[in-house]
Amino acid sequence: MARAALSADAVVDVALLLVDAEGPAALTLAAVASRAGVATPSLYKHVRNLAELRALMSVRIMDELAERIGGAVLGRSADEAIRALMTAWRDYVLEHPHRYSALVQVPEPMVARAGERLVDIMLAALRAYGLEDSDAIHAARCLRAAVHGFAVLEAENAFQRPEKLDETYDLLVHMVVAGLRTPLRRA
């Protein structure tokens, strides 16, 4: 990449390609600079430090994920929307396991703002179940935990039994949908 073409977005592009190829542990400013064909100090014109680069990458990853999931649920509602959401999320993680694992999980403000789009998509998919306010947030958290947990475990080859993972995931989707149709009764 020529120095003239370097920008914050271009640095993020290079960093994501690095992470895709070598994993999140390979992410250093020196490695990004090397891939970009510039000296490490040149990156500081575009990102303050590695923490900011990680945050910018997380924003991009959240945007990609929201785009994928938003497109999958568009025009669907209730069970069909939840199935589409869960499938699209899992597919993204399996297609980009290193990229997904590079997400900053303790969001700083710019990452939190990007994550709001994803939360809004989940909340919209949950409206068909009559969930509002805190109930909708609790359901969105459970939905995220279910799909994130399964997809990360699958991407890390943590499931060692011979049963087909697609069948297990179908069961998980069924359990989530059934749970949404039968809300928790609080005493």
pLDDT of residue 109: 87
Cβ proximity of 84 and 76 under 8 Å:
yes
Q: How many domains does the chain have?
A: 2
pLDDT cut 90: percent of the chain above it: 86
Whether 52 is covered by a domain: the verdict is no
Cβ proximity of 155 and 97 under 8 Å:
yes
For the stretch 134-146, pLDDT in tens is 999 999 999 999 9
Q: Does residue 161 share a domain with residue 125?
A: yes
pLDDT at 16 over 50: yes
Helix (H, G, I), strand (E, B) or coil at 112: helix
Q: Does residue 142 share a domain with residue 77?
A: yes
Q: What is the DSSP string of 34-69?
A: HHHTS-HHHHTTT-SSHHHHHHHHHHHHHHHHHHHH
* CATH code of the domain in which 21 resides: 1.10.10.60
Whether 73 is covered by a domain: the verdict is yes
Cβ proximity of 128 and 120 under 8 Å:
no
Q: Does residue 79 share a domain with residue 22?
A: no
Q: Does residue 113 share a domain with residue 43?
A: no
| Structure token pair of residue 115 | 């994550």
Whether 187 is covered by a domain: the verdict is no
- Burial class, 63, CB count within 10 angstroms (exposed 0-12 / middle 13-18 / buried 19+): middle
Q: Does residue 164 share a domain with residue 140?
A: yes
For the stretch 80-135, pLDDT in tens is 999 999 999 999 999 999 999 999 877 688 888 889 999 999 999 999 999 989 99
Rounded mean pLDDT of the chain? 93
Whether 129 is covered by a domain: the verdict is yes
- The single residue listed with the structure tokens 């250093």 is 28
Domain residue limits at 126: 57-181
- The single residue listed with the structure tokens 């669907």 is 76
What's this model's pTM, rounded to 2 decimal places? 0.91
* CATH code of the domain in which 112 resides: 1.10.357.10
